[in-house]
Amino acid sequence: MNDLDQAKEKEGREELEFLCVRMTDAVYGFELPHIREIIWDSRITPVPCVPDYFEGLCNWKGTIITAASLSRMTGTKESGYGDQPVVIITETGALQCGFLVREEPEILRVPADTRLTGDTPDRIGEILKIKAAYAWENEVIYVIDAEETLKCMVVFD
């Protein structure tokens, strides 16, 4: 199949867009409707006596929200790409959270028909819920289920 045939075939395929972060073990994606903002160089204030995956609190437009480390949630080592953390602000319903990453997030377009079925994980670690997995350029993109993940993070006593 030549390049022109491949381009025509791609034209007819539905594509999905995700805000993705490349970690050392996998690529994690967020659905765009749940993304409110990306903050570079945010100041994170540590908070004692919280689960390990919480980095602390950050100020987002006058609202104090939690900042959770995506690398701690997935159990992966940080790549150390950037000196300053990047906070991906997500929102679903009444729940908000900032996901702290050190990697540069990017928007990836993934063909909808590359969704993996079968033995794909429904969660990574104890908290991070996975909605779907897609094969993309020799990698797997794990799409984070923002609503279920944020619900797992809420602790009521």
138 assigned to some structural domain: yes
Strand partners, 27: 22, 141
Q: How far apart are CA 80 and CA 32, in angstroms?
A: 25
Residues 146 and 30 sit within 8 Å (Cβ to Cβ):
yes
18 assigned to some structural domain: no
14 assigned to some structural domain: no
Residue 132's CATH number: 2.40.50.180
Predicted confidence (pLDDT) per residue in 59-100, tens digit: 888 889 999 999 888 887 655 545 567 999 999 988 999 999
The residue range of the domain holding 73 is 35-153
Strand partners, 106: 20
Kindly report the pTM of this predicted structure.
0.82
| Sheet of strand 35-40: strand arrangement | 35-40, 86-92, 95-101, 63-69, 54-60
Structurally, the chain folds into a number of domains equal to 1
106 assigned to some structural domain: yes
Predicted confidence (pLDDT) per residue in 32-53, tens digit: 999 999 998 788 899 998 888 8
